[in-house]
Amino acid sequence: MPPKKQKTKDIRSFFNKTDSPGSSSSTNTGSAQPGEAKGSQTATPTKVKKEDNCDAPGGHLHRFKVKFSCTDRYKYAIDCDRPRTVLEAIQSSEHYSKKMKKCSDENIVIQLGKSDKESIVATHFPCSCVSDGEPLIISCESEKVEEAQGQHCQPIHSRDKYSVFYIDTVGGLFTKQKKLFRNSAVKQFKYLCVYGEKGTTVEEALRRDGRFIDDLGDFTLSDNDNPNCIIGRKQKVDKLDKKEFKIRLPRNKRANDEEKQENSGASSNLQQTCGAKAVLDVIKQRGISVRTEVEKRGSVDDTGEIYDILRQQFPGLKELMESRFPDDSYQEALSLRKENFGKIQKSFSEVHRVRKLLKMGESVCKVNVGDVCEGTGFVLFDNFILTNAHLFKDCVEGERLKEGINVCVLFNYEDPEPHTNFYYFQLARFYLCSREDELDYAILELNPESQKPNETTQTKKMKVPPGLLKKFGPVPENGEACIIGHPAGEVKQMDPTCIIEKERRRQAVIDHLHQYKDNVFIVHNISQIIKDQGIDNIMMGGHKADKVVTYNTFMYHGSSGSPVFDVNGRVFGLHTAGFCHGFYKGSVIEFAQPLLTIFEHFVSKLKERNLKELLKRVKKEAKGNLYLEKVVRLKSSGTGECSDSDESMETD
The Cα–Cα gap between 247 and 221 comes to: 5
Which pLDDT band, with edges at 50, 70 and 90, does 131 fall under? confident
Q: Which residue has the higher pLDDT, 165 or 38?
A: 165
Task: Give the confidence band of 123 by pLDDT, cuts at 50, 70, 90.
Answer: very high
Instruction: Compute φ and ψ for 484, nearest 5 degrees.
Output: -125, 125
Can you tell me the distance from the alpha carbon of 96 to that of 52, in angstroms, rounded to the nearest whole number? 20
Distances (CA, A) of 109 to 67, 285, 295: 12, 34, 17
> Do 288 and 282 touch, CB atoms closer than 8 A?
yes
32-46, 199-213, 354-368, 460-474: segment of lowest average pLDDT: 32-46
Does the pLDDT value for residue 9 go beyond 60? Answer: no
Q: What are the pLDDT digits (tens) for 257-276?
A: 544 454 444 444 434 444 44
* Element housing 194 (H / E): strand 191-197
Mean pLDDT of 93-115: 82
Whether residue 446 has pLDDT greater than 70: yes
pLDDT band at residue 309 using 50, 70 and 90 as cut-offs: low
pLDDT (0 to 100) of residue 157: 87
Instruction: Please give the backbone phi and psi of residue 393, each rounded to the nearest 5 degrees, phi first.
Output: -55, 135
Domains of the chain: 352-469 (2.40.10.10)
Calculate mean pLDDT across residues 442-456.
80
Q: What is the DSSP letter of 106?
A: G
Instruction: For residue 254, name the pLDDT band (cuts at 50, 70, 90).
Output: very low
Q: How far apart are CA 228 and CA 259, in angstroms?
A: 29
What does the pLDDT read at residue 480?
83
Task: Grade residue 346 by pLDDT with cuts at 50, 70 and 90.
Answer: low
Give the CA distances from residue 220 to residues 143, 240, 295, 608, in Å, rounded to whole numbers and listed in that order: 28, 13, 35, 73
Lowest mean pLDDT among 298-302, 410-414, 526-530, 574-578: 298-302
The pLDDT score that the predictor gives to residue 332 is: 52
What is the structure's pLDDT at 2? 43
- pLDDT the model gives residue 52: 35
**pLDDT above 50: residue 532:** yes
pLDDT tens, 12-29? 344 343 333 333 333 333
Beta strands 119-121 and 191-197 are: parallel
Average pLDDT estimate for 203-225: 92
Quick: pLDDT tens for 465-505: 999 999 999 998 767 899 999 988 889 999 988 899 999 99
Beta bridge partners of 521: none
How remote is the C-alpha of 287 from its chain's centroid? 34
Average per-residue pLDDT in the chain? 76
Number of Cβ within 10 Å of residue 517's Cβ equals 19
| pLDDT in the model for residue 410 | 92
Distance CA 259, CA 265 (A): 10
pLDDT at 153 over 60: no
Give strand pairing partners of 173: none
- Tell me: pLDDT of 176 over 60: yes
Rounded Cα distance, 157 and 253, in Å: 36
